């Protein structure tokens, strides 16, 4: 058993990750990275593989895929809602459509650059979020996220992206999905309880962020720090279609929090509860665990991530 396990999602980026993996593996080994490989064959399998690797005491478990793959692998570092005690570290090999989590840490997209980061082995202890919600079928599910979770239009956009094809790259895929979803979206009544204080909104979405980017490079939480022991909560209220279209550029640049806007709320929190009398989908790191009502809680210093110094 080798110290490094690379968990590859061949379906990432519309199947391009699987088709390109033999070449990528050769490039990685050429850099001197020595590793075992596990290729996933179905949703959820990466979590089981990662949890076993953590239990085995591997030094490094690498998520090779997109944000959904990172989410699955990261969930393998948790059990029964809590971090598994371990010295195993999480690494990234970005091969997917969105690549939003790696943006906050400056992890290179190219294989040789990502391999150099993994070999250097510099670590950063980061927080994670714990999401408890209604499962897609029935009952309750607990899911961890390392990047961003949200309730509202974001869940619908992710559902559209996951149903459709990948259009060349992450930004274009998510932009088209966002615009198509906006045409039919209706804002929802939501109750948002932030560290015990309740607020009632008609909202487009409630974003709960550990890192800064989502939706293929949109900097929705520009002030988020993944190691401050807090979650950034951005509530986007009763905005219309044209307000959204005009605001997309500002969100992509991360300047939307700079001006006072009664339809926008930003606050730091340890615990957030969101509910609605209407069905509202959730998104967690590009995956869809279920729907409202949901509780989001920070888990400080839950993971050790290998990233650039």
Under DSSP, the state recorded for 1 is: -
Cα 93 from chain centroid? Answer: 15
Examine the residue annotation and report whether 67 is marked as an active-site residue of this protein: yes
Alpha-helical segments (H) within the chain: 16-30, 45-56, 67-75, 100-103, 111-120, 153-163, 170-182, 241-253
Among residues 238, 237, 295, 230, which one has the least CA distance to residue 267? 230
Among residues 69, 71, 96, which one has the least CA distance to residue 173? 96
Question: Which residue's entry shows tokens 């082995």?
Answer: 121
C-beta of residue 6 within 8 angstroms of C-beta of residue 64: yes
Q: Which residues 6+ apart lie within 8 Å of 109 measured at CB?
A: 94, 99, 102
- Helix orientation angle between 16-30 and 111-120, rounded to the nearest 10 degrees: 50
What is the C-alpha separation between 250 and 194, in angstroms, rounded? 25
What is the C-alpha separation between 169 and 28, in angstroms, rounded? 23
**Catalytic residue from among 67, 127, 150, 285:** 67
What is the C-alpha separation between 62 and 8, in angstroms, rounded? 8
Could you tell me which residues are beta bridge partners of residue 191? 200, 275
Could you tell me which residues are beta bridge partners of residue 82? 79
What is the C-alpha separation between 10 and 40, in angstroms, rounded? 7
Question: Which residue's entry shows tokens 């809602």?
Answer: 81
Q: What positions carry a catalytic annotation?
A: 67
């Amino acid at each position: 058993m080798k110290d490094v396990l690379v968990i590859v999602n061949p379906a990432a980026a519309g199947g391009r990750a699987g088709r390109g993996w033999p070449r990528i593996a050769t490039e990685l080994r050429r850099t001197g990275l020595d590793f075992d490989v596990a290729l996933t064959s179905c949703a959820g399998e990466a979590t089981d593989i990662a949890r076993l690797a953590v239990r085995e005491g591997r030094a490094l478990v690498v998520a090779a895929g997109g944000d959904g793959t990172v989410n699955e692998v990261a969930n393998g570092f948790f059990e029964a809602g809590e971090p598994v005690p371990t010295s195993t570290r999480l690494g990234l090999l970005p091969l997917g459509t969105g690549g939003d989590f790696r943006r906050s840490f400056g992890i290179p997209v190219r294989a040789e650059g990502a391999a150099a980061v993994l070999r250097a082995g510099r670590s950063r202890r980061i927080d994670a979020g714990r999401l408890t919600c209604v499962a897609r079928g029935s009952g309750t599910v607990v899911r961890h996220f390392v990047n961003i979770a949200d309730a509202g239009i974001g869940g619908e956009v992710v559902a559209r992206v996951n149903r459709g094809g990948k259009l060349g790259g992450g930004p274009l895929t998510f932009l088209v999905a966002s615009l198509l979803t906006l045409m039919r979206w209706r804002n929802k009544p939501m109750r948002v309880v932030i560290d015990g204080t309740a607020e009632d909104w008609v909202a487009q979405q409630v974003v709960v962020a550990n890192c800064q980017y989502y939706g293929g490079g949109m900097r929705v939480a520009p002030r988020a720090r993944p190691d401050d022991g807090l979650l950034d909560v951005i509530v986007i209220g009763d905005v219309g279609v044209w307000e959204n279209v005009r605001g997309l550029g500002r969100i992509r640049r991360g300047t939307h929090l700079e001006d006072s806007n009664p339809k926008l709320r930003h606050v730091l929190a340890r615990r957030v509860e969101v509910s609605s009398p209407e069905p509202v989908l959730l998104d967690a790191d590009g995956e869809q665990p279920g729907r409202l009502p949901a509780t989001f809680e920070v888990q400080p210093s839950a993971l050790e991530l290998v990233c650039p110094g």
